[in-house]
Amino acid sequence: MSAPTAAVPASCCGREGVCVCAQEAKCSCGKQPALHCTCEKAQTENKVDGARCSCNQRPAGECTCSRSSTENAKVTGAACACGKRAKDSCTCSGTESSAASDLETDFTTRRA
């Protein structure tokens, strides 16, 4: 029986017909492939929830692949609901929300 293969995420770079980013992604300690962490951070490192980087292997803003400088850059322009990724490359599926909405007024920081 052959090893299971993961589908290439729609948001992935798709270089060379595969998700090269996912192959390069490492645990934050750098010792193991992403989602296969064995260090003391394994419980949090091996979870897949919330906004993710393009290859879905790491949390948004914590990318470790060769695209990390692009992936971890602050969002400019229209952002998805959580504000962690560009609107056209959202990976949180609306499961996260940003601190404030453009339709809301924050009166807690306004001076009279």
- Distance between CA 78 and CA 76 in Å, rounded? 7
Query: What pLDDT sits at residue 60?
Result: 84
Output the pTM of the full model. Answer: 0.61
Q: What is the pLDDT of residues 62-93, one digit of tens each?
A: 888 888 888 888 888 888 878 788 777 777 76
Query: What pLDDT sits at residue 95?
Result: 61
Query: What pLDDT sits at residue 11?
Result: 61
Let me know if 7 is exposed, middle or buried by CB neighbors in 10 A (0-12, 13-18, 19+): exposed
Query: What pLDDT sits at residue 4?
Result: 40
Q: Where are the domains of the chain?
A: 11-98
Residues of the chain with pLDDT below 50 are 1-5, 99, 112
